[in-house]
Structures are given as structure tokens and as C-alpha cells.
Chains A and B, each alone.
Chain A
């Protein structure tokens, strides 16, 4: 049976892993390749690198990083963060990444999803959706809905998250990386309603992101949210929770997991 995936996310700036909250007070936290190797040996099923470099050197440093990771780590990895052209995607995939994730650029130019998936296959194109609950969700009578936000959560788009996920799928997205901006950083668990709404709307894998605080949160994302994979960053970075603990907890609940000795 296909197993559910646990995915650590590494925030990278100028080729180094950084830690911090909401992109503020960033501290360098080591070499991404070393951390990737550590996560691999701890049982991570995939890795996501989110590049937050803003300098003109951005493209060169990320391609260099991808090359180094691909030569050392033999599990799939995705690269995201400011990617906005087929040319950039081509460079990153050719350097050895398995997938790229598109966020703001895909909202601004949905044709990018179609162009990229035609050229590289849907399996290589992840569409990242940052979603924020609409205020009317507080009323019990309305069906909850979420708005897509971009630019790291700063810019509302007016797009409905479920509708956008459907559109992204129809344009050729192979997976959806779904982040709840309401839950992100709270450690109170994933937004299960959001996750369920999107996973029942599209027939492609959903990666739940934002809010994980304990092992049971991951189990809930799979069993209650219908997620196919779940992602966390700081939780794993700070050794607050071991990947193996998460997997054992899920396996105990009967969720199929790849357990590594």
C-alpha cells in the first residue's frame, strides 16, 4: 500500500539553512546538505527546500545547492521560492531536483503551470497554495472557505483556495502543497477542514503544511484531513519532534508508513 509521507522543509538563504519566524530574525543554521543527509537517515520520505534569497545571486546559489544535494541525498526533493519561468524550472530540474513548487508566479500567470507540466511532466510540478480562512467562517451557518494569499501571506488575491486548487490541477499540477496561514507557526495542528476541502476536490496528492506541533497532528492530517503527505519545518529543525516518533505514532493508528530501521 502506498505510504503517507513525512516531509521536512528547509528554509534556505544565500545557500545556507536559516531559522526564524515569519522571515524575521533569521539565523544561519548550518549547511543544507548536512541537514538533508541527517533528515534522510532519520527517515524523511522527501525534502522541500524553500529558497528565500532575495539577492541577484539567487539563481546561481540555488542551482549550486541543488547540485550538491542531488549528489549526496538519494530521496526525492522539491525546490520552491520565487521560481517564475520555464527556464528557471529547467535549470533546477537539470541540476537534479525532482520537483519545483510554484506559488506567487502561478497565481499571476497560471499558464506557467500548463507550460511547465507539458514540458517536464505533471510529476515535477507542485503548486503551493497559501490559504487564509475567510472571516465569515466564524459564523456557523456558512460553509467555510479560504482565500489564496501570495507574497509570503502579505497579499490577498480574492481567489478561492479550493477553486484555485481545481484550476491548478486542470492546468497540470501534479501535487498541491497546501499551507494554512492561520495555523502556520501556532503548533496547534494542521487546518483539517481546509485540507479535507482541497483533498476531496482534486484527485492529486495533497501535502498538508502549517501548524504541526506534535506527532498526533500528522496522524490527524492523514486520517481526518485526507492528506497524502505532511510537512513541517521548525519542529524538525529544533529537534522538538523526531521523524521516527511521528511515523511510529501514525503507524500505531493504522496509517501506512515507511519505517526505516
Chain B
């Protein structure tokens, strides 16, 4: 069973539809117990960074998510669910994120904002250079087009967690991977066959 964290604003229906297309059982929930007993956890996200963090804290789900991640449960953050893993965001100054990773979420400085549409995901394994060889990234992420809707992006302090990048007037981290944590800025549930294949690999089915 995959628990989809339902904090009141995420686009739960799309993620659930995609999983059920893949034959994966999922449950939208805001119950700590259900999240802690789930085999996998997804934090989807639409809305603002501040709204997400305040909703999680009001329900005590920030602690629940940290517990779940700390005990090794596979976690997937989507869009705002990726941004929430960092310390803070320019979108909501003064509101702390989960702080699992050092770094902050910053606004695009160039081009139309938000970025809306299909952009290319380039796994680090596909590039040339010394630090590109990241075996597990190769397995989960493939080169392809994904659907993005974002004004902000994550700037991790530790570049080694960056699993894939996308170019929007400059490269940004569109996916990160570290142990049991995977997080993506794009919407796999809206990225056609490529997105469904990514979800399928993550769900291990």
C-alpha cells in the first residue's frame, strides 16, 4: 500500500489515477498511523510552500514524515513535495521546510514565470564529466520529457544528491535521490507514458 499524504491542497486525484492505472494500490490519508505503516509514501504538491508546511505542522504530519523517512520507507516528493524537503523557500519567507536537505528553494530569475509545459529531464548519468556516474539515478530516471509547472526550484547545498537536471534559462535540479528519498520537480502523473514508466519503476512493480 502506498500512502499519498493528503494535506488538503495537493492534486491527489491525478496521482491516484496514475497509480491505479499501474495496478498499484494507494490511499490518500492524513492519518499518522497509516503513513507510518505504509510500504511507500508520496508527498504530492500544488499550492504554496507556506500553505503546505503550515498544513503539515497543524496535522503533526511534519514529524510523521520525518519518522517515516528515518525508518527507511521509500519516499517520493512531487513538485512542492520536493521543495518541502529543503530548509526554506523564497516563496514563503520565514517558514521552515522539513530541512532534510540543506539548501533553499529559489525563484526563476529569467523567462516566463511560472515555467509551464514539457521540458527535458537529463539524468546525471547521461552527462560527461567526473561526478556524473550515479548508478541508481540511471536506473530510476531516464532521459525524456516531463511536464513542469513551477515558479521555484530547489538549490541543494550538496550537489551529490542531484539525480537529474533540466534547462530553463540555466540548469536546475529537477530530481534528487538520496538513500530512500526520491523527489522530482516535474509531475510524473501528468507526463504521459514517460511519467507512468517512471512511477512504475519507483513503485517497483
Q: Using a CB–CB distance below 8 Å, which chain A residues touch chain B?
A: 1-5, 40, 45, 70-71, 74-76, 93-96, 98, 120-124, 174-175, 203-205, 228-229, 258, 260
Q: Which 6 A-B pairs have the closest CB atoms?
A: A258-B118, A258-B145, A123-B149, A96-B13, A3-B118, A2-B119
Contact: A3 with B114, CB < 8 Å? no
Interface residues of B in 107-163 (CB under 8 A from A): 111-120, 145, 147-149
Contacting residues, chain A, for B113 (C-beta < 8 A): 203
Contacting residues, chain B, for A45 (C-beta < 8 A): 117-118
Task: Name B117's contact: one of A5, A94, A203 (CB within 8 Å).
Answer: A5
Contacting residues, chain A, for B120 (C-beta < 8 A): 1, 3
Contacting residues, chain A, for B187 (C-beta < 8 A): 76
Q: How far is the CA of A174 from the CA of B116 in the complex (A)?
A: 9
B60 contacts A by Cβ under 8 Å: no
Task: Name A74's contact: one of B111, B116, B117, B192 (CB within 8 Å).
Answer: B192
A2-B115 contact in complex given A74-B21, A94-B13, A96-B14, C-beta closer than 8 Å? yes
Task: Name B196's contact: one of A1, A3, A4, A74 (CB within 8 Å).
Answer: A74
Q: How far is the CA of A95 from the CA of B16 in the complex (A)?
A: 12
Q: How far is the CA of A103 from the CA of B189 in the complex (A)?
A: 28
Nearest to A96 among chain B residues (CB) is B13
Contact: B190 with A203, CB < 8 Å? no
Nearest to A4 among chain B residues (CB) is B117
Q: How far is the CA of A174 from the CA of B195 in the complex (A)?
A: 23
B191 contacts A by Cβ under 8 Å: yes
Contact: B116 with A123, CB < 8 Å? yes
Nearest to B189 among chain A residues (CB) is A74
Nearest to B18 among chain A residues (CB) is A74
A74-B46 contact in complex given A95-B13, A175-B116, A228-B117, C-beta closer than 8 Å? no
Contact: A76 with B13, CB < 8 Å? no
Nearest to A43 among chain B residues (CB) is B192
- What number of B residues sit within 8 Å (CB to CB) of A? 34
A123-B114 contact in complex given A74-B195, A76-B147, A96-B14, C-beta closer than 8 Å? yes
B178 contacts A by Cβ under 8 Å: no
Task: Tell me what chain B mostly uses at the interface: helix, strand, loop, or mixed.
Answer: mixed
Interface residues of B in 30-68 (CB under 8 A from A): 46-48
B84 to chain A, nearest CB (A): 16
Interface residues of B in 147-205 (CB under 8 A from A): 147-149, 167-168, 187, 189-193, 195-196
B17 contacts A by Cβ under 8 Å: yes
A74 to chain B, nearest CB (A): 6
Contact: A70 with B14, CB < 8 Å? yes
A203-B13 contact in complex given A2-B168, A45-B117, A123-B46, C-beta closer than 8 Å? no
Contacting residues, chain B, for A174 (C-beta < 8 A): 114, 116
6 A-B pairs (CB sep. < 8 Å): A2-B119, A2-B168, A4-B117, A74-B17, A74-B195, A174-B116
Contacting residues, chain B, for A95 (C-beta < 8 A): 13
Q: How far is the CA of A228 from the CA of B116 in the complex (A)?
A: 9
Nearest to A123 among chain B residues (CB) is B149
Contacting residues, chain B, for A96 (C-beta < 8 A): 13-14, 17
Contacting residues, chain A, for B47 (C-beta < 8 A): 121
Contacting residues, chain A, for B190 (C-beta < 8 A): 74-76, 98
Nearest to A204 among chain B residues (CB) is B112
Q: How far is the CA of A74 from the CA of B196 in the complex (A)?
A: 8
Q: How far is the CA of A228 from the CA of B20 in the complex (A)?
A: 32
Q: How far is the CA of A1 from the CA of B172 in the complex (A)?
A: 11
Q: How far is the CA of A86 from the CA of B166 in the complex (A)?
A: 34
Contacting residues, chain B, for A94 (C-beta < 8 A): 13
Contacting residues, chain B, for A98 (C-beta < 8 A): 11, 14, 190
